[in-house]
A = this chain, B = another copy of it.
Amino acid sequence: MNKKRMTSKELAKLAGVSSATISRAFSPDSRIGDATRERILAVAREHGYQPNAIARSLNNQRSRLVALVVNAIGNPCEAEEQQLLVHRLQARQLLPIILCCADHDDRLQLMRLASTYQVDHVVVFSDMVSMQDAVDIFRTTKPIIVSFEPLEHKSVSNIRIDGSAAADEIVDKIVKDGKKRFAYMTGTNSSWIDKLRRQWFSEALAKRGLKFEASAFGDYTYDSGFKESVMLIHRDKVDAIICGNDVMAIGARDAARRVLGKTTPTDIAIVGQDGIAMAAWDCNDLTTLSLDHVAFIDAVMELIERHEEDLEGPHSITLTCTARWGSTA
């Protein structure tokens, strides 16, 4: 059967010291003789002892756990950032706990559960939970929330994303190509991030005396992009579709090409958002409003580090998007 884990007291007996000295041997800067430390670490290695992080967390008031609130794991538009962030956290000996909102009926209860684990930080990637809810739930614990929602809140650090310049650039090119009837395909009907993105393009259109002639409501998936764009092209006769993310844009491109026999960018312009790696694949070659993932995660880590060092007050960082050109617009 599985052996029980050894405690510091047991190891203390084996090494002929007190359990306090064991603890000191594992704390980098504490008053302990070099010889004693060496001996203890040797005995510990021999018996496979390692301090219990749960007990340490209880005492320290620091769990070294980080809650990542995400929509889904499989979704490519978030996955690249998640991967980068997890990597960076691990490098700092922080362990990520994933909270997956997508198909969990009670997201708030899920966050409450995570909050009982005394996580040190919370990163909210998901736009399915409101910042206010996150603040309420994690209010009692030390963490700050790294959120992208552009709402001001006194105890929340956040990252602003500005894509208006890139959207303007993209619209400019499409209009110069002679397109006139634009449509916007959203990923969720209630998401503030989707609203924000739409707004960048709306403003770029308005500047040129244009507006969105039609809208479609997808769910960020390839299938929804495929299906909705058939409607947009067939019924609304649009010749430019701005999609809420890259995956829907790929679906839209496939629909335009395969079902309706259109080619991009000649007959129709299709634009994605996110700038995922897959968008640059030869078979996709998508024009997309892209955010530099590395810069993004750098910003998140910057906020986390500030919080680790107990620098007071909420901080805010703004990032700008760029246009990434493919053959679809």
A115 interfacial by beta-carbon distance below 8 Å: yes
Chain B residues within an 8 Å CB radius of A282:
226, 254-255, 258
A112:B50 contact, CB within 8 angstroms: yes
Given known A2-B139, A63-B54, A96-B97, contact A250–B117 (CB-CB < 8 A):
no
For the complex formed, measure the closest distance between the CB of A134 and the CB atoms of chain B, giving whole angstroms. Answer: 13
The answer to whether A95 touches B83 (Cβ under 8 A) is no
Complexed CA–CA distance, A118 and B142 (Å): 23
Query: A3: which of B102, B139, B250 is its contact (CB, 8 Å)?
Result: B139
| Interface hits, A92-146 → B, CB 8 Å | 93, 95-100, 102-104, 110, 112-118, 139-142
Residues of B within 8 A of A142 (CB): 2
* Copies assembled: 2
Choose one: B4, B90, B115, B116; the contact of A104 (CB below 8 Å). Answer: B90
Is the CB–CB distance between B222 and A278 below 8 Å? yes
Total interface residues on A, CB under 8 Å, equals 65
Task: Give a binary string over A33-52; 1 marks a CB under 8 Å from any B CB, 0 the rest.
Answer: 00000000000000010111
- The answer on a CB contact under 8 Å between B95 and A113 is yes
Kindly state whether residue A311 has any CB partner on chain B within 8 Å.
Answer: no
Q: Is A189 an interface position by the 8 A CB rule?
A: no
Residues of B near A99 (CB, < 8 A) are 90
Which one of B6, B100, B255 contacts A140 once the chains associate, using CB atoms below 8 Å? B6
Report if A297 contacts B (CB, 8 A).
no
Kindly state the separation between the CA atoms of A207 and B253 in the bound complex, as whole angstroms: 43
Contacts of A83 in B (CB 8 A): 72-74, 100, 102
Q: Would you call A318 an interface residue if the criterion is a C-beta within 8 Å of the partner chain's C-beta atoms?
A: no
Cα(A74)–Cα(B277), bound, Å = 10
A294 within 8 Å of B by Cβ? no
A253 to B281, CA, bound (A): 12
Q: Are B82 and A2 in contact (CB under 8 A)?
A: no
Q: A79 at the A/B interface (Cβ < 8 Å)?
A: yes
CB of A266 closer than 8 Å to a CB of B: no
Q: Which residues of B contact A255 (CB under 8 A)?
A: 282
Q: Which B residues are in CB contact (< 8 Å) with A226? A: 282
Are B3 and A140 neighbours in the complex by a CB distance under 8 Å? Answer: yes
A73 touches B79 (CB 8 A): yes
Bound Cα distance from A117 to B72, whole angstroms: 25
| Residue in B97, B100, B118, B251 whose CB lies within 8 Å of A54 | B118
Known A-B contacts A52-B116, A118-B53, A141-B2; the reply to A90 vs B79 at CB < 8 A is no
CA of A65 to CA of B278, assembled, Å: 33
Tell me the bound Cα distance from A218 to B52 in angstroms: 40
Contact of A76 with B by CB under 8 A:
yes
- Is A80 located at the chain interface by the 8 A CB criterion? yes
Residues of A at the B interface (CB closer than 8 Å) are 2-6, 48, 50-55, 57-58, 63, 65, 72-74, 76, 79-80, 82-83, 86-87, 90-91, 93, 95-100, 102-104, 110, 112-118, 139-142, 155, 222, 226, 250-251, 253-255, 258, 277-278, 281-284
